[in-house]
Structure 1
Amino acid sequence: MAHGLVFEVCMPSNFWMMINNEENYRITKERGFTLLGLKAQHRRKVQRITEGDRVLLYISHRRCFAATATAMSSFYEAEEEIWVKEGSTGFPYHIKLKPGVILEDSQFIDANMLAPRLEYIKRWNPEDWYMAFQANLHLLPKNDFILIEEEMKKLHFGKGYVPADFNPPANNQRRRRSGGRKKAGSGNAQTAQSA
């Protein structure tokens, strides 16, 4: 007899890419990918991050994808300086994370290999794709995030990994019926011939 258990599935509403230099990525890694710092200049974007959103970590100078995580909180302000300032600003906004796929350094995915397949960079010239990743925080299309994370899973889990099927379900649209159209030579055309 079932006891009426209800499981709530939290579907991510947004897919984010966080750009860090290698030093700040290492700090996040040393903390177990449980906390992420965000710059003050991105407050409007940061306010949109909600629990359950997915986060992709990208290392700027190496141009590689390194890890994924799930946001476990909305942002909050903290005065604790954890990350090294990049430019004139620090990282006053924090979100709690749950680690996802974490690649070893030798497994980092060279963004040059995946960039041509990403929807997000289509408005840039192909040779200038890296310009799309200039700021610290980006909202990615879901398909781009899934593509990158699936490639990461293949490396992380090895040959035994079976990729998830991301093909959208077949459309159950009604087939067009041609029975309603008049055939050539019928109707008015026949009337004209018999006259």
Structure 2
Amino acid sequence: MSWLTTLNLSNNYLTGSIPDSVSKLGQLESLDLSHNALTGQIPRGLTKLTSLEAFSVAYNNLSGPTLDAQNQFGTFDNSSYEGNPNLCGPPLSQSCFPYHDTKLPSSPNEAGDHRSDESIDFLILFGSFSLFFVVSFWGFMAVLYFKRTWRFALFTLVDEFGDMIYVRFVLSVRKIRAAQRDN
């Protein structure tokens, strides 16, 4: 079907990924796969379709990078990709790289900078959680130290809970032993 110039499969409830074999339709001028349930990435092979003038994969569940500005794909705007929240890259505003950097690191040093930024973020997050835990724990202990009624209520609750667990454990063991004797 290499003679095909228009392929409109919109609004057909199609699922799965876009087959790479679509790139073999060399005369294709219009490709509309919008309003389906397609998943996965847009195949890189579609850049072989040099006659393509209209393209839409809007309102699917596609993910990963768009075909950037490769060949004729540089002429398609946001509307060709809208409704795919997991797509990224030009012409969309969502970047495919961390920190909204629109270019790949040009040197190993730049890549290391991203990793050091991530490790600093992790340390800040870990430090925040640790501080929150320490302050919360010792704040709770201080309240128990000064509020005698709360301390007694907590210890009574823990004691009753422990007793309940112990009774259930003993009853379970007796049921198991009784079942073994019956067999």
Looking at secondary structure, tell me which structure has more helix per residue: 2
TM-score normalized by the length of structure 2: 0.19
Structure with the greater relative contact order (CA < 8 A, sep ≥ 6): 1 or 2?
1
TM-score normalized by the length of structure 1: 0.19
Looking at secondary structure, tell me which structure has more strand per residue: 1
